[in-house]
Structure formats: C-alpha cells, structure tokens
Amino acid sequence: MTTSKRKPYKTYTKEFKQEAVCMMRESDRPAADIARELGIRRNQLYKWAQQLDAAGEGAFKGRGRPNTADQSELSKLKSENERLREELEILKKAAAYFARDLK
C-alpha cells in the first residue's frame, strides 16, 4: 500500500483573483467556462466574488487560513490572555479590599 501525499494548495495573487472576478462579471459566458479556462473551480470564483464584495480593496489579504501551528499558538495565547485578565481582576479586588481595611 502506497501513501500518496496531498498536493500543496495552489495560491493565487490578489490581482489574479480580482481579474478573475472581473472576467466573470463582465463576460456573457458562464462562470463555469471562465473557471475552467483559468484552471480553478467554479465555486472558488464565486467565493472570490463574495469576498471582494464584502471587503472591497481589503479583500484577499494574507495567504489563506493560518496553518495549524500558528492556529494552536494563537489559541494558547488567547487562553493565557484570558487567564491573565482574570488574575488582574482578582488582584484589583484584593487591592481594593486591603486598601479599605487600612482606613
């Protein structure tokens, strides 16, 4: 039994995505034909159009989803941040309690 490695995701530039959406909107050809010509899935073309409508010039920043290592580090940092906020609240309450006793 051989294990086949999955092909890496193909990445496209912001300009390519914008041009693809422009072709889809300005052409009288079906989106499926345009997608086939560009070598992408039709659903991807619709997704890019949706992202462009939602974010305008801010669309297509970065390089897709964060990888799992980045995601797990982000999760750890968020939970640590939450824990530190809770500890800070406890310390604030303790400081207020002891300051009241000094009066």
pLDDT, tens digit, for every residue of 46-95?
998 998 888 877 777 766 565 667 678 888 899 999 999 999 999 999 99
| Global model pTM greater than 0.85 | no
Give the residue extent of every domain in the chain. Answer: 9-64, 68-103
Residue 71 is encoded by which pair of tokens? 């995601």
Confidence category of residue 14, pLDDT binned at 50, 70, 90:
confident
Q: What's the whole-number mean pLDDT along residues 7-15?
A: 80
Instruction: State the CATH class of domain 9-64.
Output: mainly alpha
Q: Which of 3-7, 24-28, 46-50, 52-56 has the lowest mean pLDDT?
A: 3-7
Identify the residue whose tokens are 């390089």. Answer: 63
Instruction: Look at residues 26, 77, 67 and name the one whose alpha carbon lies nearest to residue 34.
Output: 26
CB 62 within 8 A of CB 42: no
Q: At residue 1, does pLDDT exceed 60?
A: no
Q: Which of 4-8, 24-28, 55-59, 77-81 has the lowest mean pLDDT?
A: 4-8
